[in-house]
Homo-oligomer: A and B are copies of this chain.
Amino acid sequence: MLISLTEENYLKAIYSLSHLEADADVSTNQISDHLSIKAATVTDMLKRLAEKKLIHYIPYQGVKLSEKGKSTAIKVVRKHRLWEVFLVDKLQFKWDEVHEIAEQLEHINSDELIQRLDKFLGKPKFDPHGDPIPDANGQLNIVKAIPLNQHKTKGSFTFVGVAEHSKTFLQHLTSIGLKIGDAVKIEEINEFDNSFKVKINKTNSQFFSNKVASNILVEEKK
């Protein structure tokens, strides 16, 4: 059975929305907002995806991926993230430049291609934004990273990913000089505005607004 580019995008949207709240159904409006497509159109598509057994759809109640839909969505995510690694590692793109191109490349259809690309890149486990890359069987590491601003005490962490993927935010981090893998130490938490004073890689100290800190995912340093 062939799945169109458009259908792949719906499945991917449902997949990522389904992780916002654990195990909750995804609503028509959520998909509509996420894809910037009118709700009436989404209803249309949900009927077609249900027809193809890619989702479980109950009118007025929302939608869940079927096993087939889930594995299709994960394959698209795998392709997206592998291509992002290619663009950054091999073609020297910056991490804020690759998403739009990967949105196109993720729909290229060839198992052989992906298998070889994966090998060429050294079977990477994470993409340039710290997001885990599903393996060929669709398994992916669950990242247990926590937004920096959820830490309420001083401590040392590693910057492992971003919660927000917008170009402007990524560029902001670049201008701050913060890269994936950097050491991040909370030196002060400001009561007044919940901003953070943070030392990066044991050298320079910076102030992060709470909003910035909320989009910086860190792990306990080991």
Contact = CB atoms under 8 A, between A and B. Distances in A.
Interface of A: 87, 90-93, 97, 100-101, 104-105, 108-110, 112-113, 116-117, 120
A90 B116 CA distance: 9
Contacts of A105: 108
Contact of A91 (B87, B93, B97, B113): B113
A109 B104 contact: yes
19 contacts: A87-B113, A90-B120, A91-B113, A91-B116, A91-B117, A91-B120, A92-B116, A93-B112, A93-B116, A97-B112, A100-B110, A101-B108, A101-B110, A101-B113, A104-B108, A104-B109, A104-B110, A105-B108, A108-B108
Contacts of A91: 113, 116-117, 120
A87 B110 CA distance: 12
Contacts of A104: 108-110
By Cβ-Cβ distance, the 8 closest A-B pairs, closest first, are A91-B116, A104-B108, A101-B110, A101-B113, A91-B120, A90-B120, A105-B108, A91-B117
A147 to B, nearest CB: 32
Nearest to A87: B113
Contacts of A108: 101, 104-105, 108
A36 B108 CA distance: 22
Nearest to A119: B91
Nearest to A92: B116
A194 to B, nearest CB: 39
Contacts of A93: 112, 116
Contacts of A109: 104
Contacts of A113: 87, 91, 101
A88 to B, nearest CB: 11
